[in-house]
Amino acid sequence: MTEGTGARLLIVDDEVAQMKALRDTLQDQGYEAVGCTSGEAGLAALRAGPFDLLLADLTMPGMDGIALLRSALQIDPMLVGIIMTGAGTIGSAVEAMQSGALDYILKPFKLSAIVPVLARGLAMRRLRLENAGLERQLREHSTELEAANAELDAFTRSVSHDLRTPLNAIIGFSGLLSAKFGPELPAEAREWLGQVERASARMNDLIHDLLRLSRLGRQALAPQLVDLAVLVQEVLDELGHSQELGRVTPRIAALPLVTADASLLRQVYVNLLSNACKFTRATAQPSVDVGCEMQGDEQVFFVRDNGAGFDMAHAERLFGAFERLHSAEAFEGTGVGLSIVQRIVKRHGGRIWAVGEPGHGATFYFTLKGAEAGTEG
């Protein structure tokens, strides 16, 4: 579309004298104006080339202004229509606006009244074109993003497979070597072999967690009403059976019902409670608390422990993939668990943050968009 007075106008009026007078007047004002005397001729002109505004007479034999406007918008949905009418048919002009016209102008024409209407019409035309451009860019970006995600997913699976093949050989043969010849090896060689086995196991965990991160982005949410008290107790039972709880007996406060994906929310608590138990392992009297509280008008869930804690100066690193604030020698893990928790919480429309102090434990808080305040399980 050309800017300002260089805009292209299509004038359709069966009264030849009025059509020519308006066309000539607008051309003198710097518009590129084309005139037709029937709706059919106007549609032919639209098919031949784009116009910014359509000025259509309301009452014409054959195809009236409303029918013309409807057909014109099928040719160019971005076109802005303006109805021309006499004072006695303003009610019909309003009907035309309900059919898609932006405005109307009265006959006999006054240039001082026409120019502001044209300016509004051209502003609307620009807005429609800009919106259409933004929508097109959004579709293109969405398509590109889907393609990139699919490519990344394929790459992740391919790399994981390609890494696991030689890694399985390393794990298998180092195990055989340790089992068959371990007692005969010098102490230093056995230590080296142990380092190979530990490094292989860690690499296997990293590959496993890389795949978990990749799958999380593809997994569709299945929201349902979840009793958090039941879910947390089930998680604790599982951790107890696997001996991850150690000496900890978590305290569970009243928890509400929430609308969430049960399997993903279970993963949130598995990761948070596993971490709480792990980081209280060296604490003389370990404690872990699970609950929720009101902060303002928002219901906030938390898992609190009195374990190793962390320096708040590094809090932003907590939720990064493969980020660790403690050494692997002190605490096992790949640094993926909290990244998974954050992604699950965000997919539920919530947010997550943590507060901690070295040697004095940590508290992880998160919100869920589907939490129903005051409904306790």
**CATH number for 54:** 3.40.50.2300
Same domain, 179 and 261: no
What share of the chain in percent tops pLDDT 90? 29
Same domain, 195 and 282: no
210 shares its domain with 228: no
The pLDDT assigned to 373 comes to 41
Domain end: 203, 218, 233, which one? Answer: 218
Q: Looking at residue 327, what is its pLDDT?
A: 42
Claim to verify: residue 353 and residue 254 sit in the same structural domain: yes
Residue 115 domain flag: no
**73 and 159 fall within a common domain:** no
Domain CATH number, residue 341: 3.30.565.10
| pLDDT for 298 | 84
Would you say 266 and 234 are in contact if contact means Cβ atoms under 8 Å apart? yes
The average pLDDT across 25-41 equals: 93
Portion of the chain with pLDDT greater than 70, in percent: 81
CA distance 236 to 74: 62
Residue 181 lies in a domain: yes
- Report yes or no on 126 lying in a domain: no
More confident residue, 162 or 355: 355
196 or 279: which carries more pLDDT confidence?
196
Q: Are residues 76 and 42 in the same domain?
A: yes
Per-residue pLDDT tens for 200-246? 877 777 777 667 666 665 667 788 899 999 999 998 888 887 666 77
Per-residue confidence (pLDDT) for residue 329, from 0 to 100: 46
pLDDT at 377: 41
Enclosing domain of residue 104:
4-109
- Average the pLDDT over 268-296 and give the result: 86
Tell me: do 253 and 351 sit in the same domain: yes
- What average pLDDT does this structure show over 7-22? 93
Asked if 202 and 297 sit in the same domain, the reply is: no
Identify whether 24 is part of a domain: yes
**Mean pLDDT, residues 142-169 taken together:** 73
Name the maximum alpha-carbon separation found in the chain. 112
Domains in the chain: how many in total?
3
Mean pLDDT of 311-316: 73
How confident is residue 281, by pLDDT bands cut at 50, 70 and 90? confident
**Over the chain, what is the mean pLDDT?**
82
- Quick one: pLDDT at residue 127? 92
**pLDDT category of residue 366 using cuts at 50, 70 and 90:** very high
Average pLDDT over every residue of 3-9 = 71
- Is beta strand 298-305 parallel, antiparallel or unpaired with respect to 53-57? unpaired
pLDDT tens digit string along 44-103? 999 998 999 999 998 899 898 889 999 999 999 999 999 888 765 666 666 767 767 888
Report pLDDT for 203: 76
Answer yes or no: do 233 and 302 share one domain. yes
Q: Rounded to an integer, what distance in angstroms lies between the CA atom of residue 30 and that of residue 51?
A: 15
Q: Tell which phi-psi region holds residue 213, choosing left (phi > 0), alpha (psi between -120 and 50) or beta.
A: alpha
What is the pLDDT averaged over residues 103-108?
84
Is the pLDDT at 4 greater than 50, yes or no?
no
Is the pLDDT score of 148 beyond 60?
yes
pLDDT > 90? residue 157 = no
- The more confident residue out of 163 and 273 is 273
Q: Encode pLDDT of 319-328 as tens digits.
A: 765 555 444 4
Would residue 138 count as lying in a domain? no
Closest C-alpha to 281, from 330, 240, 326, 232: 330
Q: Are residues 71 and 182 in the same domain?
A: no
Q: What is the pTM of this model?
A: 0.52
Are residue 97 and residue 199 in the same domain, yes or no?
no
In a domain, 133, yes or no: no
- Tell me whether residue 114 is in a domain: no
Domain boundary among 109, 137, 165: 109
Mean pLDDT score, 248-272: 88
Would the pLDDT of 11 be above 90?
yes
Give, as one character, the DSSP assignment of residue 368: -
- pLDDT of res. 47: 94
CATH code, 162? 1.10.287
**pLDDT value for 216:** 67
pLDDT value of residue 244: 67
Say whether both 228 and 86 belong to one domain. no
Residue 221 or residue 368, greater confidence: 368
Rounded CA-CA distance 304/40 in Å is 75
134 in a domain, yes or no? no
10: CB partners within 8 A, 6+ apart: 33, 34, 36, 42, 45, 46, 51, 53, 54, 55
Going by C-alpha positions, the residue among 289, 297, 308, 311 that lies closest to residue 355 is: 311
End-of-domain residue from the set 199, 218, 237: 218
- Identify the pLDDT of residue 376: 44
